[in-house]
Amino acid sequence: MSRFPRKAALAVLLACAFGAHAQTDYNQRFLTQYNKIKNPANGYFSAEGVPYHSVETLIVEAPDHGHETTSEAYSFWLWMEAQYGRVTGDWGPLNAAWANMEKYIIPGTRDQPTNSFYNANKPASYAGEYALPKNYPSPLEFSTPVGQDPIGNELASTYGSRDIYGMHWLIDVDNWYGYGFCGDGVTKPAYINTFQRGAQESVWETVPHPSCETFKWGRTGNNQGFLSLFTGDSNYAKQWRYTNAPDADGRAIQAIYWANIWATEQGKGAAVADLVKKAAKMGDFLRYAMFDKYFKRIGNCVGATTCPGGSGAADSNGLRDNQHYLMSWYYAWGGAVDASAGWAWRISSSHNHFGYQNPMVAWTLSTQAAFKPLSPSAAGDWGKSFKRQMEFYRFLQSADGAIAGGATNSWNGNHEQPPAGTPTFYGMFYDEAPVYHDPASNTWFGFQVWSMQRVAELYYVSNDAQAKALLDKWVPWALANTRLLADGSYEIPNTLQWSGKPDTWNPANPGANANLRVKVTEFTNDVGVAAAYARTLSYYAAKAGNTAAKTTARELLDRMWAKYQDTKGVAVAEKRKDYLRFDDTYNAATGDGVYVPSGWTGTNAQGAVIDSNATFLSIRPKYKQDPDFAKLSAYLAGGAEPSWTYHRFWAQADIALAQADYGRLFPNTGPAIAVSSTALTVPEGASASFRVALSEKPAANVTVALAKTAGGDADLTTATTSLVFTPTTYATAQNVTVAAARDADAINGTATFTLSATGLTGATVVATERDSDVVVPVVLVVSATAVSVPETGSQSFTVKLASAPTGNVAVTVARSAGDTDIAVSSGASLVFTPANWNTAQTVTLAAAKDADSANGVATVSISAANAATRTVAATEVDNDVKSCAVVVDTTNDWGSGQVPSIKLSNLGTTPLSGWSLSFTESNAFTLTNSWSGTFSVNGRTVTITPAAWNGTIAPNSSVELGMQLSYSGAKPVPTNVSWANRTCDITVK
């Protein structure tokens, strides 16, 4: 008979008394892993609070240095803080993480300064992709047709700005390369980029370069920078450019979905309400991943010059002709550094990998009211994307169950003709290894578990039948290839080998893909992939009641926890044979090695020479200063292959998340030690307490042992070593007091106290000393980085804090530079307290009347003690400035006929819609042709209204129209040119 007769009612009452259900082992493990990651001594974060790609610096994968970071790492950080909020009820760290993301890896207005010149009718100039780096630079083909961007003007109208709200995929956290911000060489973190030259360009062939190209480094001569390695042009321009990784932005949105669910359950939905809005906004812009790279027509798009650009018009089913509705590999945007140059561009990607799909996010953004983006067509686009993504998985699911590569709208990246018999998905061509080939992108099991985890979450929250069908086939395949070994370790798939092809997609009757097969050729004990795999199995098991999936998930989590923990997290040693490529020179026969064209010579910010003799290591000479370089050097010299142990941020976070997911999905129902809090803050020189009870009545007395885990802060102690509970007193909470001795350091030390008893699930409490010498940083959250203030009018923005402060925080708002006509009219002094820190306070700016006609700009600084100063760029909208211009050029005239060109420009800061232009010709004429508008003629008067696609003119953009006419006698010249209801600058040539 059990020592603990079950008393369900008493267990519920106890849980209510403690404010939460008793924590299971897995939630305790989450907190243990979380605290290791957040412990400054373990080195996961920079001084700016940015998560590194890995603790270790000598590591080469997609990032080519460990102290770079990625949007991937940020997305996992957000998810981890969301789980922390669920477990502890503290949502401050999640808000702070999002604010850090906005500050350092989402480019602000300063980082993308000329977006206002973007023309959605011509998003970018075409440049083809090629098989090998040696085929580059790729020439810009200005005559090759590109399509129109159907969401650019909608986004600008919705948010009042042309800025993109999405993460760049890669930043140099410590400015290791030395590029800094736009050539300053010192700012950190710094935006950088690497991959640029086709599917065969692995990390070992990349040439890292700054995202802001000022020609300070790169090719000798100071007029090309690094651009001429990648694109061919007759005249290179200084420019900025960023690349978004859609899977990371999707994961960030996914994290906020769960944060909103959990905070709402706690009655704290307001604590994450702003993040929900920002996640929805990020999802609005994430739609750029749904298009062909150059907005060309989707389906059978063969021939770069013959496949037409799409108009963005919707068919009878509401589907745009240049939108595939999948999550492609990237979207990118850029523009001129010179504000007077007047150009900007945007592209998407034609290549779609199954591993980047996120139907969970598509479902969230299309069905959950709080997450529906503000743009009119956005929720509908995401609804179409959800349907298309689910079909895509089905198209790619093999006969065995695993998911194959993907599909492309541009074969070989240059709209070539694919081999005969290539299967298609809505006219896009099946691609076994989309995007990259070294190594092939379809071989890593990690993509299987990352992508299917999203499908499993979708199944869990929505009971979607398509998701269930995919998992019902995928999970048995994965389980059949999972080995739980006698020594307590495990092996899961690592490398996959594919054969055959899927059947061409028929939505009415999908094929069985009998010839599409996969086998596992290598296994691994990788902890990050195992964690993602366990999360997939946990969600599936929780919904489907699948015992085998639940058991395997638990075994993976228990085994990695018991076998692979270290002081920094959970890690295993690995071999890296590819590190022999560190010093490979270019091999023309294989294409391996860094390719630099003969005669191209330059330098980078580390002082390295870049020429045709370059190697991966030679253009990264700082690697020779790395503490692990001696080990690498010995290997390169012919020594034994070493082992490397890495603490990758994404993997360590996913391990924490997997433990938390299992603890949430399968809460412990047996007898347990219940604690009032799993996290305890103890002021230096004082003490704090937590309470302990049992979750169920025991049959006999129970002694709970309490011990401090080795390695904790010596200043944190408790005099309690055991507690005794009887069948009568089991539900009566007993206090445990932890004291923090005063010390000489300024470190918030931590210590872990474990509580255990025979037959009970144990508990863990992590105590953190609040050192009186520590200055707690304040993070200011400002609602806008740029505002427009009408002359004689006002405009507002709001300020709040990212997390609760320890005391009152005084915030000062003042103009720090620029136009003196702009002033802070209210909100110059704000006070935030531990009670109102998350309540936004309003700052109002006013612009005084002046005599000039210039749109003055001022910098408004928001500052507080122990906080990084935030700035807002305030632009005066001068009421003496005309908001529009019309240029009619009649110089193309041959005495009996004429082709006038007409250009309508929006000089203002808001979109102009529903325009109408009229003028009267000075002589009789006959209109023989017209384009880009609806032309009506009444006598000699011409009235022009928009075509279906150009009725709205975005700020700093223009619409060009044309007509052809014949006449006799004097040349007709437009008079009385008028833009209806507007006063514009009029020019007639």
Catalytic residue IDs: 487
Q: Reduced to 3 states, what is the DSSP secondary structure of residue 569?
A: strand
Report d(CA 365, CA 229) in Å as an integer: 39
Q: What are phi and psi of 370, to 5 degrees?
A: -70, -20
In the chain, what are the helix, strand and coil shares in percent, each to the nearest 5?
Answer: 25, 30, 45
Instruction: Burial-class residue 370 by CB neighbours within 10 Å (0-12, 13-18, 19+).
Output: middle
DSSP state of 952: E
Type of residue at 768: T
Report d(CA 566, CA 527) in Å as an integer: 12
Which candidate, 748, 532, 554, 535, places its Cα nearest to that of 648? Answer: 532
Instruction: Burial-class residue 15 by CB neighbours within 10 Å (0-12, 13-18, 19+).
Output: middle
Contact 884, 982 (CB under 8 A): yes
Q: Which two tokens stand for residue 876?
A: 């005066």
Q: DSSP for 849-918, please give it.
A: --SS----EEEEEEEETTBPPEEEEEEEE-TTS-SEEEEEE---B-SSEE--EEEEEE-SSS-EES--EE
Q: Which two tokens stand for residue 325?
A: 């509705």
Q: Reduced to 3 states, what is the DSSP secondary structure of residue 944?
A: strand
DSSP state of 220: T
Contact 677, 670 (CB under 8 A): no
Check the CA dihedral 865-868-869-871 and report its sign.
negative
Give residue 935's Cα distance to chain centre: 45
Report d(CA 3, CA 700) in Å as an integer: 7
566 contacts: CB under 8 Å, gap ≥ 6: none
Q: Which two tokens stand for residue 560?
A: 């990695």
Contact 921, 976 (CB under 8 A): no
Residue environment code for 130-145, b if the CB has 16+ CB neighbours within 10 A, otherwise e: bbbbbbbbbeeeeebb
Q: Which two tokens stand for residue 818?
A: 């620029």
The residue with tokens 């973190």 is: 189
Q: Which two tokens stand for residue 236?
A: 């290179």
Check the CA dihedral 567-568-570-571 and report its sign.
negative
721 contacts: CB under 8 Å, gap ≥ 6: 705, 706, 707
DSSP state of 800: E
Q: What is the largest CA-CA distance in the chain?
A: 115
Contact 97, 154 (CB under 8 A): no
Q: DSSP for 645-694, please give it.
A: E--BHHHHHHHHHHHHHHHHHS---S-BEEES-SEEEEETTSEEEEEEEE
